[in-house]
Every structure is written in C-alpha cells, then in structure tokens.
Amino acid sequence: MALQWLSLVAAIWLQSINGTNSNFPAYSSELKRLLSLSQLQLNNLAFASDAGKLLGFISGVAASHLPLWLVLLVGSLLGLIGYGIQFLFVTNQIPSLSYAHVFLLTILAGNSICWINTVCYIITINNFPLDRHVAVGITTSYIGLSAEIYTVLVSVFFPSSSSPNKAAKAYLLLNSVSPLAVCVLGAPIVRCVNNGMSRRLGVGFVVMFVITIGTGIFAVASSFDKISSGILSPLVVVIGMGLFLLAPLAVPLVEKIMERFQKKCWLRREGRVCDVSVVEGGGGGGERTEEGRKDGDQESGSGGGGGGEGPEEIGVKEMVKRLEFWLYFCVYLFGATLGLVYLNNLGQIAESRGFPKTSALVSLSSSFGFFGRLLPSLLAHIFSRNKCMASTPACIAIIMAPMSASFFLLLNKTTLSLYISTAVIGLCTGAITSIAVSTTTELFGTKNFSVNHNIIVANIPFGSFLFGDMAALLYRSKINTPDGRCLSSKLLSLFAAAILTF
C-alpha cells in the first residue's frame, strides 16, 4: 500500500513540473523580438508546442513495450534537447538558429510532455483501479501549477530577470533541466504496484485532498499578491510551495496508522479473539474488500455503459469509426483547446491592453487552472456514494457555459474584467482537461488508454493552429505602433467574437 501512495506522490511531482509550455506567454514577446517574428509566426510557435501532441501516440506505444522509468527518462531528455538548444541560442552560445530550427525544437519539447503525462496516467489508473477518477484528478491538477512554480523559481534564482531577455533565458533554462531532475528523482518509484487492495474513499485520499486544496489556496493567494501589493517575497512563496509539494509524503504514513486503528476497532466490535496478522493479510477483511471491489466495479460500469459491467475495451481503429469519438473530439476542441489558445496568447493580450504584468496573468491562470483540474475529482469524491454525480459529458456541457460568458466579458475593457475572464477561463479549461481523462476510460476502456487518449488530445494542436492563427491575423490587422505592436482594447473583443462565432 505504501508503494501505491508513493507512486501517486511521484506522479504529483512529475505533473507539477510538466507544464513547461504553459509559461510560453512569459517569454514569447522576447522570442518575437529576437527572431524578428510576425504575430502569425509567433502563434505558429505556440502551435508547434502543441503539435508535439500529434506524435503523442508514440509515447503510448512505447509505454506498452518499455519500462515506465525508461519512458520517463526519454521524455525528459526530449525536453532537455528541445528547450536546452533554444536556451543556448538565446544566450548566444551557439550560432543563430533559423525560425524553422526553433519551430522543430518547440515541437520536440512539446512532445516530451506527452511521455511524462502518459507515465503519470498509467501508474495512477493501474495503481488505484477503484479510485482512478479521484487519483487522476488529483495528479493532473498539479500540472496547472507549473506556470506558477516556474514563475516563482525565476523570481528567486534569477532576481535580475526583470528584463524580457533575461526572463526568456531563465524560463528556457528551467524548462530544460527541471523535468530531467525530477524524472531522475522519481524514476525508482514510478511503477505499477497495484495489489488489488484499493479501496474507494480511503482516508489517504481525504488527507490528499486537504493538502491539495491547501496548495491551491496558497497558489491563488500568491498570484493575487503579485497583482496587488506584493507583500510575499518570492523566497517565501518558493519555500511554501516546496513544503506543500513535500506534504503528500505523509499520506502513506497516515493511511497506515488509520488502517491499523480501524482494524483494532473492528476486532473490538466483533468481540472475539483474532489473529491480527490474518486480518492484515486480508483474511479478516476479505469480505469488506470484496464488497468495496463490487461497489467500485458497479460504479465503473455505470460510467462506461451501465449494468455491472466495465467499459468496453476499444482500440484506436475501432475508436475513430465511432460517432461518439468525433463528438467528444469536437467538444474538447471548442472547450479546453479554445481556452488553451487564449492562455497561450496572454502575452499579446496583456500587451494590447497595455498591461505590464504578463507573468502575473500567467500565474493567475495557472492557479485557477489548478483548482479547475482538482474540482471534478473532489466532486466525485463527495458524491460517489450517493450516485448523484452528473455524467462526464454533462459536466463538460455545464462547464462550457461560464467559459463562454468569460469570453464575452472580455468585451469590457476594464482591467478587472481581464482578471476575472483569465481566472474563469483557466478554471474551466483545467476542469475539462481533467474530466477528459475519465471520459476516455469510460468511453473506450483502460486497456488501450495510453494510445487512445493521445489520439484524442491531438485536437489541441489542430485547434491551436486554427484559433491561434485567427487571433494572429486579427492582431496584425490592428497594428498601430511603429514597432509592430497592437495597443488596443478592441483586440480582445475581436478575438472573442471571432472564435465564438466560428
């Protein structure tokens, strides 16, 4: 049981540093200047980061044939190459790169994320089969913190990075080395160790939720602090975030203590003498474990197609022939992907509004994205016993409503509307992304999940290219300064109206 929880902790650490593409807006304007790019070319670079997901199925195939620790290291090395060479270029340590070179390196770096994500999904789904919705939701929520984590690390370790050029160097350096360091640290405990004793709504998940919610509150508070007074120093934020990331290590210990306490209480209620070792081995608790397994199977079956049966196991060829796949694909495209396009354009959106704190907006969207990814699993944890939780497609439809309203709120040119819209879009995008993992397993099963889900998220680069270029063309049409920038609050209105009309 301890190894199961440690694998979940490893997945949390891996996800927390795996959102390297989420901090792209923090240095995109500097890349635009260094490479003398048009807004359309810059948006194509954002697309390139997402285009790595088009090759994400390779990581799924590799995970089916290679040890997970090796898949993890391959992903981190791809990121090291992709971001590392760009860092050497920005610091003038290698000859100048062409736009095509940077484009290909960005694709490579974007693909590295798929390898690490695939490993995290596999270990959480396999190690917590009865609680996979909750486990996946908790781990994926931490990828929403990546931009916040990288922002505060840059502030602490590169205090002179206030200029755009120095900030670009700092972000690219951290993007290249941080995932490799954490992957090497987590590789020994990243393994499938399910022993069939997973229990729904265990004490460990309650503790994990408390820690995760506390982490999110701290992240949101630090984000608002950056926007307003700046009372908290970057060092305090880094220390606080580090403690919250280490806190899940206590969960295996708490789970073990509570397990022993519950067994003693059970023995006292029975009023008979039992061999504790038999109970610990599963003899005395077999009936309870089997009952929990039946309940879990029924709930899993209800999500995948009803009755007491589990979801149908479907391969890629069969999946793409089904209407439900294309409906799901399009909903994701006009939901989470649309939100990601907005977040990728935060640098230019802030610039068009004359808003100087781009990193603060990135941090705000990251923090609320964290809660968005956590919210579905928290609701599943609360309502699963009552069987009153809405289906995942219904949840996605509900989330789309406030997201659409936030785009229309951008028509208001006040700074407050920019804050609110960015926070809500980050929240809804994170929620849909988290729900999508459970939806894939419910619709198409878990056996081929690693390949199936990477095929589904291929809509992200497609949407990034389509919506991103639409935004770039609007930006270019409204350029009104000698240096080729658009300083107009109307940009957001046009951006929102165009993508929603489409």
Closest to 167 (Cα-Cα) out of 304, 347, 16, 334: 347
Q: Where does residue 501 rank: exposed (0-12), middle (13-18), buried (19+ CB within 10 A)? A: exposed
Query: From residue 68, how far is each of 4, 47, 72, 75, 119 by CA, in Å?
Result: 15, 28, 6, 11, 6
> Span 319-328, mean pLDDT?
86
Averaged pLDDT score across all residues of the chain: 76
pLDDT at 56: 81
Report, as an integer, the average pLDDT of 268-273: 53
Find the range with the poorest average confidence among 142-146, 192-196, 349-353, 454-458: 192-196
Distance, C-alpha 316 to centroid of its chain: 23
Give whichever of 107-111, 192-196, 292-296, 335-339 has the largest mean pLDDT: 107-111
Neighbours of 280 (CB within 10 A): 13
User: What's the rounded Cα separation, in Å, for the pair 405 and 424?
Assistant: 9
* Tokens encoding 9: 């902790």
What was the pLDDT predicted at 85?
A: 92
Radius of gyration of the chain (CA): 23
**Other CB atoms within 10 Å distance of the CB of residue 153:** 19
pLDDT band at 276 (very low <50, low <70, confident <90, very high): very low
Give the tokens for residue 312: 């149908």
Angle (CA) 276 282 284, round 5°: 60
- The confidence band for 13, taking pLDDT boundaries of 50, 70 and 90, is very high
pLDDT for the residue 175? 92
Q: Using the predicted structure, report yes or no on whether residue 164 has a pLDDT greater than 90.
A: no
pLDDT of residue 271: 54
Q: What percent of the chain has pLDDT above 70?
A: 75
Residue 208: closest CA among 150, 142, 288: 142
When pLDDT is cut at 50, 70 and 90, the band that residue 72 belongs to is very high
State yes or no: pLDDT of 291 exceeds 50.
no
Tens of pLDDT along 414-431? 888 888 888 899 889 888
DSSP per position, 407-451: HHHTTS-SHHHHHHHHHHHHHHHHHHHHHHHHHHHHHH-STTHHH
Of 183-187, 209-213, 370-374, 429-433, which range is least confident?
A: 370-374
More confident residue, 493 or 140: 140
Q: Which of 431, 394, 229 shows the shortest CA–CA distance to 303?
A: 394
Segment 436-464 mean pLDDT:
80
Q: Among the listed ranges 117-131, 152-166, 413-427, which one has the minimum average pLDDT value?
A: 152-166
Distance of alpha carbon 337 from the chain centroid: 13
Give the largest Cα separation in the chain, rounded: 87
| The most confident of 72-81, 300-309, 379-388, 397-406, by mean pLDDT | 72-81
State the Cα angle at 70 between 184 and 7, rounded to 5°. 60
Average pLDDT over residues 37-49: 80
Give the per-residue pLDDT at 112: 92
Q: What is the mean pLDDT of residues 94-98?
A: 82
pLDDT at 254 over 60: yes
222-235 tens-digit pLDDT:
777 666 666 777 78
Phi/psi at 200 (5° precision): -75, 140
Rank 5-19, 210-224, 399-413 by mean pLDDT and report only the highest: 5-19
Taking the whole predicted model, whether its pTM rises above 0.75 is answered as: no
CB count within 10 Å of CB 98 equals 10
SS3 193: coil
More confident residue, 218 or 360: 218
Residue 385 phi/psi, 5-degree rounding, is -70, -35
Q: Which of these, 145, 122, 109, lies nearest to 71 by C-alpha position?
A: 122
Burial annotation 24-35 (CB, 10 A radius, 16+ → b, else e): bbbbbbbbbebb
